Structure 1
Amino acid sequence: MSSPYASESLLQFNTFYNVVNGKLTESSSGQTYHNTNPSTLQANPEVPLSAQEDVDAAVNAAQVAAGHWAETPWAERKKKLQDFATALESQTENFSKMLVKENGKPLFWARIEVQSCIKWVREICELSLPDNIIEDTEQRRVVERYTPLGVAVGIVPWNFPLMLSFFKIPAALLTGNVFILKPSPFTPYCCLKVAELGLRFFPPGVLQAISGDDRLGPWVTEHPGVDKVAFTGSVATGKKILQTCSASMKRVTLEMGGNDPAIICADVDIAAIVPKVAMISFVNSGQLCMAVKRLYVHESIYDAFLAAMVEFVEGSFKVGDGFAENSFIGPITHRAQFDRVTELLDHIKESEFKIATKDSVDTSQQGFFISPMILDNPPDDSRPVVDEPFGPILPLLKWSEQSDVIQRANDTEYGLGASVWSKDMAQANQIASKLKAGSVWINTHGELEPHVAFGCHKSSGFGVECGVEGLKAYCNIQSVYSRPS
């Protein structure tokens, strides 16, 4: 009889369980919960509402597995990850459809997210952390080497639940750590299935996942058996996690959002760059940490650029159900975020800021739909400029002096990303060199690669994911001094 975890068999996406110690488990309390499809408001399936006992069981299993997995040769860990990526690839469509149902994003964007996860595993597996020989003489040999931390926990948000899980999983497992995935309560489904798929490739306790409500995060971050927490989410929650982890000296990686500026210089080809800027501003309904959230346009082209942006966005970006043909922008992912965005929309209207686009809230559809809003030169100290809307709201602002726009672009607690757009590469590089952000792009925005470090400045984060530096974030460095006897 073939194994129930044969790599060619498809996962079932109508039942969902925690994955603990190599088994599919229900919550120890027997309780469940569900989220709703943000397009239709129909209920998605039930998932476990985990209790403290479930956290204890997962951590205990992880601690048992950690020693064996750390001793597994790098090449063997790599091969298991590569096989895992191939199995995920074979189930792209099922994962993509579930992602639409729980997150709301259009199906073609969901497919891109799943494909990006596969790419991340494969390319992270091409990285290595060889021993660094500092000295090798007859008298002494000195070597720096990297050893796994042990039990790592990944806490991921609801906007890109799969992609942000795979910023963490391959780096942790490749370097010899075991991993517990804690998804957002708003989007638990695909994350649970990722760990279920992992049962086919990894020993019990190596890759686990548990779902739950807002109590679950503190239970895992405070747990004495956890050695590392990798978090993506809000600044407020990230600061709490850092404070909690400091008590037990847990290692921490935090990526906590942004308010990315894009500076448009006077010499750009407006028709050529407007579609690119608009896409990265409104993708995923603006629910992207590194979306363009403040657009500074040189005053000499401001009116023409604004008109082109409005025309393109209103003519090209269809808002609708993720399964509807030609939908580009789906709904806001859940009710709480929808309420936050609509409250900001009300504030914008009450403040009488100039709105260049049509009315944003779509009352003709049942779900949490908001059409893109472009603001015409609101004040620099206004909420839509200062705050991270995390919705489809984009302020355009005028600038004239280079030193002034650099100061304005940097005038934020965030430091995730920033971009400069210009035909003059000398000018673009000069501006880019003064921007305080972990990633800076020239004539593009939001590009990331698995082999390139992704870090943050200021309140946007702490530590690094991706690239060799991302591997090191899951390791202790150990210096070994040897002398002949």
Structure 2
Amino acid sequence: MALDIINPATKKTYKTIQVSILDDVNNAVERAKVAFKEWSEKSHEERSAALHNVANAIEKAGPELAEIVTAEQGKPLFLAQFEVGGAVGWTHYNADLKLEPEVLEDSAERRVEVHRMPVGVVASITPWNWPLMIAIWHIMPALRAGNSVVIKPSSLTPINTLRLVDIINEHTVPNLVQAVIGEREVGEPLVSHPDVKKVVFTGSTPVGKHIASLVAGDLKKVTLELGGNDAGIVLENANIDKIAEKIFMTSFVNMGQTCACLKRLYVHRSKYEALCDALVKIAAAQVVGNGMQEGVTFGPVQNVNQYEKVKAMITDARESGAEVIAADLPSGLDGYFIAPTIIKNPQHNIDVVCHEQFGPVLPVIPYDDLNDVMSKAIHEEFALGGSVWGEPCAELDWVVDQLDSGTVWVNNHAEVLPHVPFGGNKSSGLGVEFGMEGLLENTVRKVINRAK
């Protein structure tokens, strides 16, 4: 069956590709098993050198990859170039990670070492918001540990992943990474396949829980990076001139389509109007349009379903009495465009506050009492990220202690780094990615206990 890949800036078909069938899934896993045997027998030095070569090849293909990302995902070209740069840097970082034995005891009685072994074939399922970067996050630590990978990218943004797979296989061993294309009818047999030994998924919490149920019976290893509804708290002593630009960027990066974006902003009433005015001004300065056009800073929402969801949230906020502020869109646009939108004084029980919007809209909520607002900021279900904004003080430290998310940022948000473990608490995830912790999630432990 043919699948049309739609450019969200034009609503026109960018590419047409074939959807995978069950035989394709089984064949991909079988090829990955064969490649795993060859790859896992290579030394750490050989794997490291190969991944450095992959990183260099990604960098060389950077202009092509960035244009693909913009065409199928919608983000402005400069942001797609940033995504490619991140992919290069993340690959080099993983290539340099060491997997050396850990000596737990070396005494007169015994020597005890912990060795880390690859798990085998890893199944990866990636979303449409950062299609190249998240594929790198899944694939590179798996390869560095000695595994092979079968990846199912989002069927909305698969073209860059197919190109990435070609690059990786050219510089490692044949068929080390395989790609299958489709929806649930492909994803379920992939993660359930008996020869798949580990699953890594980035996406929504309901799908993540379903994947966990599918793999539980086989006790497969699983890493899940799931949804969030990240809160930021602006303290009474905050300097608005210092933080406004960063708050906007960490709320609206990638048109707000980032799991770790700041999605609810609580501002002390004494600073509320000043910060809202600053955010509205920054939003109005964005150049909304097709990401391939020079000067564009703000692209479309990636797909029609997400577009309609976010528009419905904005309508609901307006009808509930909140003030909705957004600049008019330029004339002539025919994609899934929503101008960056600030929602002032929303009720706390409306959709755009209670649920992850995953789009270019930010509810800004005034507060008077920090204890009261903390009870609202801490979400019952999600705990991916959270932040506090202000000058150093006891209140700031108290907020850091109270926030229960996987990452707490101070005067920042949504920053992820290759050497810093990242993952959510509660229903926002299971396990971590990045750094040595993330690498070890792609291994199994073998303890060697030698009596003397």
Correspondent of 2:295 among 287, 311, 326:
326
SS at match of 1:176: coil
Matched, 1:211 2:181: yes
Q: Residue in 1 aligned with 2:413?
A: 445
SS at match of 1:46: strand
Task: Give the letter for the 1:234 counterpart.
Answer: S
**Distance in 2 of aligned mates of 1:310 and 1:46:** 39
Deviations 1:426-475 (A, max 9, x none): 43232112101111111111111111111111111000100000011001
Question: Aligned-pair distance for 1:347?
Answer: 2.1
Question: Aligned-pair distance for 1:364?
Answer: 4.1
**Distance in 1 of aligned mates of 2:112 and 2:169:** 39
SS at match of 1:167: helix
**Distance in 1 of aligned mates of 2:375 and 2:331:** 40
SS at match of 1:169: helix
Matched, 1:470 2:438: yes
Question: Aligned-pair distance for 1:358?
Answer: 4.3
Deviations 1:98-124 (A, max 9, x none): 101000000000000000000101112
Matched-pair contact (CA < 8 Å) for 1:156–1:164: yes
Aligned residues: 452
Matched-pair contact (CA < 8 Å) for 2:384–2:423: yes
Q: Residue in 1 aligned with 2:315?
A: 346
Moved more, 462-471 or 262-271: 262-271
Q: Residue in 2 aligned with 1:280?
A: 250
Q: Residue in 1 aligned with 2:268?
A: 298
Q: How does 1:34-113 map to 2 (within 5 A)?
A: 34-113=4-83
**Distance in 1 of aligned mates of 2:324 and 2:191:** 43
Q: Percent identity?
A: 36
Q: Residue in 2 aligned with 1:158?
A: 128
Q: Give TM-score scaled by structure 1 length.
A: 0.90
Matched, 1:141 2:145: no
Deviations 1:40-96 (A, max 9, x none): 112112222100000000111111222222121011001000000001101111000
Task: Give the letter for the 1:476 counterpart.
Answer: V
- From the two aligned structures, give the one with the greater helix fraction: 2
Question: Aligned-pair distance for 1:411?
Answer: 2.7
Question: Aligned-pair distance for 1:138?
Answer: 3.6
**Distance in 1 of aligned mates of 2:387 and 2:418:** 20
Correspondent of 1:416 among 381, 384, 399:
384
SS at match of 1:283: helix
Q: Residue in 1 aligned with 2:169?
A: 199
Question: Aligned-pair distance for 1:344?
Answer: 2.0
**Distance in 1 of aligned mates of 2:327 and 2:66:** 31
Q: Residue in 2 aligned with 1:228?
A: 198
Deviations 1:335-382 (A, max 9, x none): 1211222222232233232223346x7774110000111111211121
Question: Aligned-pair distance for 1:425?
Answer: 4.6
Moved more, 390-399 or 407-416: 407-416
**Distance in 2 of aligned mates of 1:179 and 1:57:** 13
**Distance in 2 of aligned mates of 1:249 and 1:363:** 54
Change (3 A) 1:357 1:43: closer
Matched, 1:433 2:401: yes
Q: How does 1:370-385 map to 2 (within 5 A)?
A: 370-385=338-353
**Distance in 2 of aligned mates of 1:140 and 1:234:** 47
**Distance in 2 of aligned mates of 1:235 and 1:377:** 28
Q: Residue in 2 aligned with 1:256?
A: 226
SS at match of 2:174: coil
Q: Residue in 2 aligned with 1:397?
A: 365
Matched-pair contact (CA < 8 Å) for 2:324–2:341: yes
**Distance in 2 of aligned mates of 1:352 and 1:241:** 39
Matched-pair contact (CA < 8 Å) for 2:345–2:366: yes
**Distance in 2 of aligned mates of 1:216 and 1:171:** 24
**Distance in 2 of aligned mates of 1:198 and 1:376:** 47
Matched-pair contact (CA < 8 Å) for 2:326–2:339: no
Matched-pair contact (CA < 8 Å) for 1:259–1:412: no
**Distance in 1 of aligned mates of 2:326 and 2:34:** 57
Question: Aligned-pair distance for 1:214?
Answer: 3.3
Q: Residue in 2 aligned with 1:14?
A: none
Matched-pair contact (CA < 8 Å) for 2:321–2:346: no
SS at match of 1:141: strand
**Distance in 2 of aligned mates of 1:91 and 1:438:** 34
Matched-pair contact (CA < 8 Å) for 1:124–1:451: no
Matched-pair contact (CA < 8 Å) for 1:171–1:470: yes
SS at match of 1:311: helix
Question: Aligned-pair distance for 1:238?
Answer: 0.5
Matched, 1:335 2:304: yes
Q: Residue in 2 aligned with 1:481?
A: 449
Task: Give the letter for the 1:383 counterpart.
Answer: D
Matched-pair contact (CA < 8 Å) for 1:150–1:178: yes
Matched-pair contact (CA < 8 Å) for 1:319–1:327: yes
**Distance in 1 of aligned mates of 2:19 and 2:98:** 38
CA RMSD, 1 decimal: 1.5
Q: Residue in 1 aligned with 2:424?
A: 456
Q: Residue in 2 aligned with 1:127?
A: 97
Gaps of 5+ in 1: 1-30
Moved more, 261-270 or 96-105: 261-270
**Distance in 1 of aligned mates of 2:135 and 2:7:** 21
SS at match of 2:359: coil
**Distance in 2 of aligned mates of 1:60 and 1:383:** 45
**Distance in 2 of aligned mates of 1:43 and 1:204:** 31
**Distance in 2 of aligned mates of 1:451 and 1:94:** 27
Question: Aligned-pair distance for 1:305?
Answer: 1.3
**Distance in 1 of aligned mates of 2:128 and 2:17:** 15
Question: Aligned-pair distance for 1:159?
Answer: 0.4
SS at match of 1:395: strand
